[in-house]
Amino acid sequence: MQRLVAELEQARVGHVKLNEPLAEHTTWKIGGPADLFIVPESREQLSETLRLLHKHGVPWTPLGRGSNTLVSDKGVRGAVIKLGSGFDTIAFDNNTVCAGAAYSFIKLSVMAGKQGLTGLEFAGGIPGSVGGAVYMNAGANGSDVSRIFKSADIVWEDGSSGTYGKEDMKFGYRHSILHERRGIVTGATFVLEHGDRKEIAAVMATFKERRLRTQPLQEASAGSVFRNPPNDYSARLIEAAGLKGARVGGAEVSLLHANFIVNLGGATAEDVLTLMHRIQSTVEERFGIRLVPEVLLMGER
């Protein structure tokens, strides 16, 4: 590992840290240390980072803004890569917007609305980065990334890169080609439509009011924990199973929204996993439906 660190520093790939606590980088405020934590600031630095990790046979895991992710209490072996401020960019051109992968997906929706562009209103309540949204084909309020997607720039695990259109991405429900092939999104372009600023603002205000009323936005969480099963909602099933308020250690099924698990203080990844398993087994026993996690499990088990 020391030789790899030396080569990374010599190649000037960005910030390189050893044993970085990942609880500081996740919205759940949970997670042990990463053996190696790398923050590249450009596509060239990212490409060189992946090339060197491949050369040394060191596994790597990408981390965005830390939502939708549960990091193990034992941490992550190998390297964790988090894109730096060089990827926190945005540029509008008529009805298209190009955003760096580290840019906030919520902020992107707000900025688009201010430009009088419609199509991103659904993103106003989706935490995380543009890169994470593309990876997950994130969606809410009846829409998702694939509806407005034009292209994405991706660096693959061997250091090669390219630009890929909608057909290349194999979008599905919370799915993209990045679930099948290892790579990291560095930026994406979306095509929107011109609309009325006041109408866009009104729609976003309605969505925001609903979120404030129904989601535990003031508590540490990762967003929705389980995917919605076909023709139903995980939150409805969990609540119907009597699990609202169920608690393990510092982790609790939210009293506001049953598909959120909140960290009341001092929750561990093991607390959350135990609660997730209880939810899955109870819902399956009651309704014959096995809930599938939407959160990504990261690190040593």
Comparing CA positions, the residue from 104, 101, 70, 52 lying closest to residue 275 is: 70
Give dist(CA 186, CA 286) in Å, integer.
43
Whether residue 294 lies in the annotated active site: yes
Joined together, the tokens standing for residue 274 give 């135990």
One-letter amino acid of 93: D
Pull the structure tokens for residue 279.
């939810």
* Active-site option among 109, 224, 234, 254: 224
d(CA 179, CA 100): 20
Specify whether 224 is catalytic.
yes
Q: Is 47 a catalytic residue?
A: no
Q: What is the CA radius of gyration of the chain?
A: 19
Which ranges constitute the DSSP H helices of the chain? 2-11, 43-56, 105-114, 130-136, 166-169, 197-214, 234-240, 269-287
For residue 57, count CB atoms less than 10 angstroms from its CB and return exposed for 0-12, middle for 13-18, buried for 19 or more: exposed
227: which DSSP letter? Answer: P
Query: Annotated catalytic residue: which of 48, 65, 146, 174?
Result: 174
- Sign of the C-alpha dihedral, residues 188, 191, 197, 201? negative
With tokens 């919520």, the residue in question is: 106
Strand residue runs (E) in the chain: 15-21, 33-39, 60-62, 69-71, 76-81, 90-93, 96-100, 117-118, 139-140, 143-144, 149-156, 161-165, 183-191, 193-194, 247-248, 251-253, 261-263, 296-298
* Catalytic site positions: 174, 224, 294
